[in-house]
Each structure stands twice: as structure tokens, then as C-alpha cells.
Amino acid sequence: MGRTAAHGGGLRLVLLGAPGVGKGTQAAEIQRRTGVPHISTGAMLRAAVKEGTPPGQKARAIMERGALVPDALVGPIMAERLARPDAGGGFLLDGFPRTVGQADLLDRILAERGQGLDRVINVVVPEPEIIDRLTGRRLCAACGATFHVRSNRPRAEGVCDACGGALRRRDDDAEAAIAERLRIYQEQTAPLVARYQRAGLLLTVDGRGRPDEVFERIASSIPGLRG
Ligand code: AMP
């Protein structure tokens, strides 16, 4: 079943779940503890938009309205990222795969390497709570730390506790874009839950509560995660 953690070669994990369930927060903690690289297609695409690269220029408007960037654009970015040496010893994918086509691509890339996934972590949070989390979310433009206007306020309004950078709302955390992202999640990404369940890889975790509580739920099922 490819539970390779015990056989050398680090963990190969996917974080599945709707926008706003806390995938990025959990991924950062897992990376901190295990050293496996946290690979977020959303973060890579936002960097490409900021830099104004050709893929970034194509992705900008699509991301702003909360739609998915085409597989033909995301696939090569992910294939290139997984080919880098640091991903050879394991990885943690956050926000990929998001479509059946992307899951097929990931299967192909791993099959060529003679590898498989160890676990797919499906974090679940009720939709009203997701909407509250995303509308109140603020990100540091400099270091990427996340805050929330109600539940995780920075010490000084609009200023990052970690680095002093300016906090801003992601463009796609506007209400219309959130609704679109949740609709697309149900339509395109949710079918992957059943696929990974059938493959015996799925771990479903309640994403409510504090980040450390959620992490404990994940870590109690995946040996080696506590680092
Ligand atoms: P995220 O940071 O994961 O919420 O992603 C932000 C946005 O980036 C999404 O709403 C999509 O527009 C785009 N995006 C990120 N990952 C993917 C992906 N795997 N496939 C298509 N679009 C993506």
C-alpha cells in the first residue's frame, strides 16, 4: 500500500478539503515537524501572478473570481515542482489535486517514480464556519502569516505580529468569490474523496477547533508526523 515512511523515503501526503478548512495552517505545521516540503499550488500561482510571469498573467483573473486555473496550466507547474530534489524525499501537497485530471496526472508522475501516496487527509468543516473563516481571514503580504479579524487578531490592527508586514485580504476571499470556490469544490474536487477512499488512502479529520487540536487528530493517525 505504499506506506513508505517506515521504509526510507519520507511521507507523501495530500491535504484535501474545501477552501478555508485550514489546509495551509496544518501543512505549515506538518512541514515544521517533519521537514517534508509544503507544496501549495495556490501559493505558487499567487507568486506567479505577483511576478507577472506568463502563467501568472493567465491565472490572475481566473483566481480573482474563484474559478479553477485550467489543468493545462497547473499540471506542468506541479510536475516541475515535484521533479525538484527536495520533493524526492517526500512532500505535502496543499490544494492539488483539485480535479480528476490532476489526480490522474499525480498518479502518472508517481507511477513513473515507482512511488505512491501514503495518505490523503480530508479536512472537513461545516460551510457556515468556512464562510466566516474566509471572510475574516487576513494575510501578511510580506511573510504569509495568517490572522482573522475576530478569532485570531493581530496585536496591532493591520500589522503582522511575526514580521511587521501589512495585512491584507486575499482578492478571492471576497464573498462572491468564496461562493464560487465552494461551488467548484463540490463539483470538481469533492469526487476525489471517494476516489481516495476506494484506494484505501483517505483519512477524514474534523477541522473544527484550534489548529493544534486539528493537528493532533491528524497526527494520531499518521505515525511519524510529530517529528
Ligand atoms: P488556494 O490557495 O489553494 O485556495 O488556491 C487559490 C486559487 O488558486 C484557487 O481558487 C484557484 O483559482 C487556484 N488554484 C490553486 N490550486 C489549484 C489547482 N490545483 N487547480 C486549479 N486551480 C488552482
pLDDT tens, position by position, 35-45:
999 999 999 99
| CATH number 3.40.50.300 given to 11-36+91-107+116-218 | yes
Mutate to test the pocket of ligand 1, among 15, 41, 92 (most ligand atoms within 8 A of CB): 41
Instruction: Tell whether ligand 1 has an atom less than 6 A from the beta carbon of residue 45.
Output: yes
pLDDT given at position 9: 56
Q: Is 58 tagged catalytic?
A: no
Q: Does the annotation count 181 as an active-site position?
A: yes
- Paired sense of beta strands 38-40 and 12-16, if any: unpaired
Query: Structural domain boundaries of the chain?
Result: 11-36+91-107+116-218
User: Does the annotation count 133 as an active-site position?
Assistant: no
pLDDT of residue 227: 72
pLDDT of residue 6: 35
Name the packing angle between helices 54-64 and 71-82 (round to 10°): 120
Judge whether 81 and 44 are in contact, CB under 8 Å. Answer: yes
In the predicted model, residues of the chain with pLDDT beneath 70 are: 1-9
Q: Are 118 and 6 in contact (CB under 8 A)?
A: no
User: Could you tell me what percent of the chain has a pLDDT over 90?
Assistant: 88
Does the Cβ of 146 fall within 6 Å of ligand 1? Answer: no
Query: What distance in Å separates the CA atoms of residue 110 and residue 116, rounded to the nearest whole number?
Result: 6
Cα 186 to ligand 1 centroid, rounded to whole Å: 14
Q: Rounded distance, CA 192 to CA 88, Å?
A: 24
52: helix, strand or coil: coil
Say which of 98, 119, 138, 217 is annotated catalytic. 98
